Amino acid sequence: MAELRWHPLIGDWVMIASHRQARPQMPKDWCPFCPGSGKVPQDYEVYEYDNDFPALSQDPPAPDDVATDFFKVKEAYGKCEVVLYSPGHTTVLPELSDRHMRKLVELWCERFEALSQDEKIKYVFIFENRGDVVGVTMPHPHGQIYGYSFVPKKLELELQNAKAYQQEHGACLFCDMLKNELDFQKRIIFRNEHFTVFLPFFTEYPYGVYIFPNRHVRYITELDDAERQSLGLTIRDTVGMLDSLFDYKFPYMMCMHNAPVNGEDAGEYYHFHIEFFPPMRSADKQKFNASSETGAWAHCNPTCPEDTAQELREAYARYMEGRK
């Protein structure tokens, strides 16, 4: 069973995919993403793998016969892909070379472009879940890409606010946000020629850093050659910084926000960026999304962003010292 059901209270589609209940936990003595499994090439560096248990499909089954005049359903059209970062089962991003990270960025761009060619797909979402506490069932280093037939609600809200800001101020909301963070400086973690890593003024998570391109682009595919090289290193060093924070592999959700595809051109007002959601508030305490966060979308950050930004700058310095 796989279909989309309309949530009338928030105006969004919910993916119903009961077959995903059968997806396995990682076997102790076998990994489908490792060379030799028969599931992937014997020799690869990065690799796109179609999800074995997709919530969305380009050949979706007919929805169940449960729709009424009030309750709406539609086919779960789209695509779910897995992006394998490395053949090494325990490899982490900070261990990958500059060249390897560039190949990963190129694969993300290649898949973004390929999914965008399907006119039924309206949003391409590149993301990574890392760690047991965010529900990862396969620890082999990988991320995912979902191609949705709709624009998910959070992205829709970002687009609406960015468009309204552009109409009112004649400027990009994201560019102005970055300018204000740079003026304030205390939440900037590190910056290079092409990207800025910072802890936003409004961060919902204690260590929820953002990565912004310094240049206004809509999509990851609009980054030029130098920016693509820099993006790989910036992501790698951001993860290395998080790992250095408490000296363990830090769990996180990494979400790439691009403009929608096959719809309104949001080029003037939408700005590609990456958001991290690490579910820890200290070395041994998890930040849970409980009733206020989940039921009301009213987030509470139990830390001061300016203080945790300083912790992150110190962790980044330790990480960079270790790379020498």
Residue positions annotated with a catalytic role: 142
| Structural contact between residues 205 and 278, judged by C-beta atoms closer than 8 angstroms | yes
In the chain, how many H helices and how many E strands?
6, 12
What residues contact residue 69 under an 8 Å CB cut-off, 6+ apart? none
Q: Which residues pair with 145 in a beta bridge?
A: 81, 126
Q: Is 25 exposed, middle or buried (0-12, 13-18, 19+ CB in 10 A)?
A: exposed
What residues contact residue 40 under an 8 Å CB cut-off, 6+ apart? 32, 33, 34, 47, 49, 84, 87
Q: Which residues pair with 77 in a beta bridge?
A: 57
Which amino acid is residue 295, in one-letter code?
G
| Structural contact between residues 3 and 76, judged by C-beta atoms closer than 8 angstroms | yes
| Structural contact between residues 87 and 148, judged by C-beta atoms closer than 8 angstroms | no
Which amino acid is residue 293, in one-letter code?
E
Distance, in Å, from the CA atom of 40 to the CA atom of 118, rounded to the nearest integer, reads 25
Nearest 5°: CA angle at 97, between 92 and 100? Answer: 90
Coil/strand/helix, residue 277: strand
Q: Phi and psi at residue 254, in whole multiples of 5°?
A: -110, 125
Query: CA-based Rg of the chain, rounded to a whole angstrom?
Result: 20
